[in-house]
Structure 1
């Protein structure tokens, strides 16, 4: 018997202290590195984007890969890549913690459009406001003091 899954994930994490260090001109290099990590883990990347202080990834995660393990690999690998290649000189690391949200495959196109349009969203909403809306949308209880 084969294993079949169709779970769409949105992964969100931010720079340490939400410092605006992910400069637009070098983000594509970072995104390509993260795509390579996902590919090596047999995950399918649908979309990756972000702003100066955070990243969003829309992906299907291979069934043998634990979400927490994948995110750890992305954070450690991208941190090393940034430092070795000196692409964001003021980057001091990633913030502790992350958000992972699941979606029906029927929401794929809407979710991809949303992630692709991050720069437009952040003209009107901060990352924190967006994260709170996402947590509320998924009925996740949280304490705002941990959202820094």
Structure 2
């Protein structure tokens, strides 16, 4: 038997960072995303976000590549949201996402960060947060493509 703990903090946004996730229905969306995560034999520790992006803290099953997981998560949820009258302005998800692994010792810190998204974004834009997130994790940003698709 193999033993793994693949703790990912994932951030993804709506197409063009538009505010198309109504706060009044975000829990419905979060529950749907949790169902997808559970069906992928993965564990959701925390989900949160704002009208234009979502943060996940998950333990991804070792048989699933992160890119495949995100492709399916966005594909299934897009189809569901398109049929759901509670998300009338949703146009889809942006192509890109950010995902980084963390040590289990950092789990509570990340959970608290995700819990406080609405308060955090009263003073920090998504673009500022995303840029900072990439820099902190050592990702070189190509300005030609940053938040363009």
Q: Shorter chain as normaliser: what TM range? A: over 0.9
1:34 maps to 33
Partner in structure 2 of residue 25 of structure 1: 24
Aligned to 1:147: 146
> Where in structure 1 are there 5+ consecutive unaligned residues?
none
TM superposition score normalised by structure 2: 0.96
SS in 2 for 1:99: strand
TM superposition shift of 1:81 = 1.1
Partners of 2:21 and 2:113 lie apart in 1 by 19
Q: Distance in 2 between matches of 1:136 and 1:66?
A: 23
> How far 1:92 sits from its partner (Å)?
0.6
Please say if 1:137 is aligned against 2:143. Answer: no
In the alignment of these two chains, the number of paired residues is: 147
| Residue 92 (structure 2) aligns with | 93
Q: Partner residue of 1:117?
A: 116
The CA RMSD over aligned residues, in Å, is 0.9
CA contact (8 A) 2:6 2:61 kept: no
Question: Match of 1:84?
Answer: 83
CA distance in structure 2 between the partners assigned to 1:124 and 1:144 by the alignment: 23
**Residue 86 of structure 1, CA deviation:** 2.1
The structural deviation recorded for 1:145 is 3.3
Deviations for 1:17-45, whole angstroms, at most 9, x for unmatched residues? Answer: 10011110000011001000000000000
Consecutive aligned runs of 4 or more in structure 1 exceeding 6 Å deviation = none
Equivalent-residue separation in structure 2 for 1:142 and 1:114 (angstroms): 23
Q: Deviations over 1:82-134 (max 9, x none)?
A: 11122211111111111111110000000000001100110010111001111
Measure the CA separation in 2 of the matches of 1:106 and 1:66.
23
